[in-house]
Amino acid sequence: METGIATTPFGRRPMTLGMISSQVTAKAMPADLTVHKWHVFQHIKEARGALGATDRALAILDALLSFHPETVLYGDSELIVWPSNEQLIGRANGMPPATLRRHLAVLVECGLIIRRDSPNGKRYARKGQGGEIEQAYGFDISPIVARAAEFKELAEVVRAEKKAYRVVKERLTICRRDIVKMIDAGIEEGVPANWGKVQQTYQAIVGKIPRTAPRQVLEAIAAELEDLWAEVREALESFVKTKNMSANESHIERHIQNSKPDSESESESGLGNKNEASGGAAETDNVRSLPKRELPLGIVLDACPNMLWLVKGGGGIHNWREFLAAAEVARPTMGISPSAWEEARTAMGEQQAAITIAAIYQRQDQINSAGGYLRSLTDRAKAGKFSVWPMVMALLRAKLDASKTTGTGAEAAAVDLETAGKVVRTESRLEISDALRRSLDRPGRGS
C-alpha cells in the first residue's frame, strides 16, 4: 500500500562529500539518543551563519519538522517525512516552487537533512497490512538528532561571539565619549597640551571605524582609542597634580607657553613678548603708545599668510568679514574652545581677537597650548597690557629675516615691515614712547 503524493520528478541528483558525511553521521547515531526537535531547531537558527543556512532554508526546515508528529525525537525512531511540494509551500509562507527547490538543496548541502529518494524519485510511504510504515521515501531529519550536540555547541560559540562584539562596541562608544569630554575639559581648563593634534589623532582613529566590520577589526581600533584615552588622562592628571603641588601661577603659565627647547623664545617670536608679560611701567607705556587705529588687512595677511589656507577654493581674503570667517575656521583646528574665543572677542574686540587667532595660527607649531595662550593674552587685554601690533610686527620681522636667509622675497618683506612702521610713526594724535620707537627701529626685533 502506498500513500502520499508524488511531487519530485525522477532524475539524477549530484552526490557531494557533505551529503555523504551527513549520512555517515546519521548512521553512527546512538539508538538511545533523545532530543527536543524545537530546541535543536533554535540552536540551528542561532548558528545558521556558521552552518551556511539561509533564512528561507530554515523556514523550510521548520515546515519539515512540523510534518513529524513527535516533539521528542529518538535515535531509533522513524525520522523520514514525505510532504508534497504544495504542502511545504503552504507551511513555508507560500514561496515559489523554484525557491523551494533551491533552499531544499541548501538544507541538504548544510547536512541538516538527507534525501531518501524512491526508485522513481518520488516521495511516498509504503504501509503494511497493520497500517505501520514499512518503507518511506522523502527527507530524512535524522541529522537533527545525530548532530544536536554539535548544533548546541555552535550556538554557544555564536552567542559568545555576539556578546564579545557587543562588548567591543560598548568599549568604542564609552571610549569615544570619554575622550571627547576630556579634550573639552583640557581646552576649557587650559591644560598644557597640543589639543589640536590630539583631536586630529582622535578623528584619524575614529575615521577607520567601518560601517560593518568583524570583531577583530573593532578590537584593534578600540585598543588604539584606549591608548589615546590613557595619554589624555595622564595629561589631565599630571596637570592636576602640578597645580596642587604649586600655586605659583607663573610656573603654570610657563607650561602653557611653548615647550620646544630648540624653537625661538617667545620674546623673539612676538607671540609671548617679554615686554607684554612683564607688567612693568615700560610695558604699559609701550602698549599705550601703539596706534589706536586698526591694522590694515593687507599687512595682517602679509604677516599671517597661513590664514589663506583656510579659504575654500583658494579665492583669497578680500575684506575683514572674510578674515573673521577664516578665524572661525582656524580656532577649532588649534583646539581653542568656544568659551575662550568668546572671552577674547569680548576683551579685545572681534577684529583684534581674529588677528590674534591668525598670529597664533601662523606660529602654532611653536605653541604647546593655543587655547591656554589665548586665555593668557585675553587676561592681559583686560588689564590694558596687550595689543596685536607687536605680534604682527614680530611676524613681519621674522618673515624679513627668513627672506634674507633664503634670499627670496626679502625686498617684499622689507616693504611690508616699513609700511607697518610708517603706520606707527605717522599716527597723528599720538606720542610714541622712546622705548617703543627703539623696539621698532632695532634690527631683528619686531615688538
DSSP assignment string, 167-180:
HHHHHHHHHHHHHH
Q: What is the pLDDT of residue 367?
A: 86
CA 12 to chain centre: 54
Q: What is the pLDDT of residue 436?
A: 43
Q: What is the pLDDT of residue 127?
A: 75
Q: What is the pLDDT of residue 235?
A: 87
Phi, psi of 298 (to 5 degrees): -60, -40
- The closest alpha carbon to 109, from 47, 17, 24, 25, belongs to 17
Q: What is the pLDDT of residue 275?
A: 39
Of the chain, the percentage scoring pLDDT greater than 90 comes to: 27
Structural contact between residues 357 and 374, judged by C-beta atoms closer than 8 angstroms: yes
pLDDT at 419 over 60: no
Confidence label for 205 from pLDDT (cuts 50, 70 and 90): very high
Give mean pLDDT, residues 38-44. Answer: 95
Residue-wise pLDDT for 273-303, tens only, equals: 433 333 444 444 455 545 556 778 888 888 8
CA 423 to chain centre: 49
Range with the poorest average pLDDT among 242-256, 295-309, 393-407 = 242-256
Q: Beta-carbon neighbour count of residue 426 at 10 Å? A: 9
Confidence label for 256 from pLDDT (cuts 50, 70 and 90): very low
Q: What is the pLDDT of residue 65?
A: 93
Q: Beta-carbon neighbour count of residue 139 at 10 Å? A: 26
Determine the Cα–Cα distance for residues 65 and 58; give it in Å rounded to an integer: 10
pLDDT at 439 over 80: no
Residue-wise pLDDT for 173-194, tens only, equals: 999 999 999 988 888 888 888 8
Mean confidence (pLDDT) of the chain: 76
pLDDT at 3 over 90: no
Residue-wise pLDDT for 129-139, tens only, equals: 776 777 788 89
Give mean pLDDT, residues 37-56. Answer: 92
* Exposure b/e, 146-183, CB count within 10 A at least 16 = b: bbbeebbebbeebeeeeeeeeebeebbeebbeebeebb
Range with the poorest average pLDDT among 244-248, 277-281, 351-355 = 277-281
Phi, psi of 34 (to 5 degrees): -135, 135
pLDDT at 13 over 70: no
Give mean pLDDT, residues 252-263. Answer: 43
- Locate cell 582622535: which residue? 202
Q: What is the pLDDT of residue 5?
A: 36
Structural contact between residues 10 and 50, judged by C-beta atoms closer than 8 angstroms: no
Range with the poorest average pLDDT among 88-102, 135-149, 158-172, 407-421 = 407-421
Q: What is the pLDDT of residue 221?
A: 93
Give mean pLDDT, residues 124-152. Answer: 83
Determine the Cα–Cα distance for residues 213 and 157; give it in Å rounded to an integer: 18
Residue-wise pLDDT for 315-337, tens only, equals: 788 899 889 988 988 888 888 98
Structural contact between residues 191 and 372, judged by C-beta atoms closer than 8 angstroms: yes
DSSP sequence for 398-421: HHHHHHHHHTSSHHHHHHHHHHHH
- Locate cell 540552536: which residue? 43
Q: What is the pLDDT of residue 238?
A: 85
With both helix axes pointing from N to C terminus, report the angle between 195-206 and 148-189 in degrees, rounded to the nearest 10: 160
Give the three-state DSSP class for 36: strand
DSSP sequence for 47-109: THHHHT--HHHHHHHHHHHHTSS-SEEETTS--EE---HHHHHHHTTS--HHHHHHHHHHHHH
Give mean pLDDT, residues 30-53. Answer: 89
Q: What is the pLDDT of residue 123?
A: 82
pTM for this prediction: 0.46
